[in-house]
Homo-oligomer: A and B are copies of this chain.
Amino acid sequence: MCEKSLNKIENSQMSDIAIGIDLGGTRIKAVAIDRLGNMLHQHYQPTFDGDENGWKNAVAAAFRDVQDKTGNTDALVGISAPGLPNAGNSAIAWMPGRLQGLENFNWTGFLKTKTFVLNDAISAMMAEARFGAAKGRKNVVMLTLGTGVGGAVLANGRPYQGAFNKAGHIGHMVIDSDGDRDITGMPGSLEDAIGNCSIGKRTFGKFSSTQQLLEAYRKGDYFAAEVWLTSVRKLAIGLASLTNILSPETIILGGGITEAGKDLFEPLEQYLSLYEWRAGGNKTAIEKAWYGDLAGAVGAACFASEAGKI
């Protein structure tokens, strides 16, 4: 349960705990956290995608396990899921192709507990904004650099979902207007500039993962150097654009590509010193995400806790 929201309910033990469930394509992760973000229990299990009853029951089992272990039956529940939630964040309204049966499924009825559903990228950002790399910040942008590039925005202290709860798809902003269109139709998107999904295209098939590319780069391969540094440069241009549009205090970078460490963050800072508009000498902080694969579950718990107070 998240600090800010809990100021008013200190006397009640009941709702001092929130449960977050991350519904991924292969695994379900569930956590219970307290008001300080302490992890009270963690639960992992396979998703069984492909069998509608299978994965729904898996969510229910994860939920019950966490409920049992914490002995708390009043905790609000947040579910982090792929797709776009509906207006009230009670269900995922749009998620084609995977997890058949997810669209418009009534989780509150199914789990018999007030449940909030939110996009997984926004969940991860919530974890970082409340208890992680951007703790205490009011305006935050988070990017998850993995197969694709996910994103989320915190505006004036609150997760920003926008119309159709579609906001935050920052991976699908333009970087090169003459580039190929990505899966959303965006030409030369940030996702195509640095996501693993485009590694074959960026390297003419020479490498099949960012990790492979980085290994060659570290060995002094010229081609790998230019491909990687160009990708980082484009990321910097995207981040600099976001500082002009949203002016966050902090931009958090998460996802597997951040394992590149200084090979990512050092050139990134150098490029940002060229591209970021630092009016009045102010600059946006770039931080690596603190949470790993529990970010979605933790952030969903934060969201539920706060949403339940409004």
Contact = CB atoms under 8 A, between A and B. Distances in A.
A230 interface: yes
A197 interface: no
Chain A, interface SS category: mixed
Given A156-B155, A186-B277, A280-B93, A174 B172 contact: no
Contact of A241 (B153, B174, B181): B174
Contacts of A247: 161-169
Interface string A150-186: 0101011010111111111110111111111100111
Contacts of A279: 84, 94, 164, 166
Contacts of A249: 163
Interface string A70-100: 0000000000000010000000011000000
Contacts of A274: 185, 204, 223
Given A246-B162, A246-B167, A247-B167, A172 B223 contact: no
Contact of A223 (B94, B221, B241, B271): B271
Given A93-B280, A244-B184, A233 B158 contact: no
B223 A185 contact: no
A152 to B, nearest CB: 10
A169 B244 contact: yes
A238 interface: yes
A84 B181 CA distance: 35
A275 interface: yes
10 contacts: A84-B280, A155-B156, A163-B249, A173-B244, A174-B241, A175-B177, A177-B193, A185-B275, A225-B226, A245-B246
Given A166-B247, A186-B240, 16 more contacts: A94-B280, A139-B167, A153-B246, A162-B247, A163-B247, A163-B248, A164-B280, A174-B175, A174-B240, A175-B177, A187-B237, A222-B229, A222-B271, A223-B267, A226-B226, A242-B245
A34 interface: no
Contacts of A246: 153, 160, 162, 167, 245
Contacts of A226: 225-226, 229-230, 233, 267
Given A139-B163, A160-B156, A204-B181, A275 B187 contact: yes
A22 to B, nearest CB: 21
A274 B276 CA distance: 30
A177 B232 CA distance: 12
The 6 A-B pairs at the shortest CB distance, nearest first, are namely: A162-B247, A184-B277, A222-B267, A226-B229, A166-B247, A167-B247
